[in-house]
Amino acid sequence: MIEQLKISELLDLNETIAAVFFEGCTYPWEVLAKIKDGIRKLGATLSEEEYDKRGEDVWIAKSAKVAPTASIDGPAIIGRDAQIRHGAFIRGSAVVGEGAVVGNSTELKNVILFNKVQVPHYNYVGDSILGYKAHMGAGSITSNVKSDKTPVTVNTGEEKLATGLKKFGAILGDHVEVGCNSVLNPGSVIGRNTNIYPLSMVRGYVPAGSIYKKAGEVSAKR
């Protein structure tokens, strides 16, 4: 089970500009503490022909579309052909991948969105990593702090893995689909190509290639 939680089992690092952040890490949540400084180092190396630097530590690809009503605090990197739509709020420490969509009233904080990720309507994504072509339906959010404020663990069903993190939302593997108005509780890890039903409350690890209906009702895709 622990093997399935490794970076190599969840994410295609060829689909993010932030691949260097993952060096030396085994599990994806280990990367969360490296995002802020990693962006500053990576941003300083980006081509001025492809990226504009705006404000303090914000790099935006010239081909990206950013609505004038969007708010972007640094450090942040907005990749090629990304869309930052009306009313989006990027609070800093965010990498938005190529062709990704950050929609109206969506808030990001300490995140990596791989290429082609979509968080297009009323989403909160904090202290999380979303893999290639992952999609969060309208109103779905990551909850990144436990109510008792204790460190987050990842529940595999067989054991609980300590992360040492007080803030850790979710890891979505490549091609994950999250249904509308779902809540991903702290420490949720969703395997590749999995579908989460709308209105779900998810906790712990959901295997790759699954359909998650509710706790205890998870079936393999056919």
Task: Please say whether the beta carbons of 155 and 187 come within 8 A.
Answer: yes
86 noted as active-site residue: no
Biggest CA-to-CA distance, the chain? 51
Cβ neighbours around 176 below 10 Å, total: 28
Q: Write out the DSSP string of 154-222.
A: EE-SS-EEEEEES---EEE-TT-EE-TT-EE-TTEEE-TT-EE-TT-EE-SEE-TTEEEEETTEEEE--
Q: Which of 86, 121, 135, 175 is catalytic?
A: 121
Residue 81 tokens, joined: 């052909």
Cβ neighbours around 161 below 10 Å, total: 18
Pairing of strands 160-165, 152-155: antiparallel
Q: How far is CA 107 from CA 31, 181, 211, in A?
A: 20, 15, 26
Please name the amino acid found at residue 179. Answer: G
**HSE (CB half, 13 Å, CA atoms) of 213?**
6
What DSSP designation does 46 have? S
Catalytic annotation, residues: 121
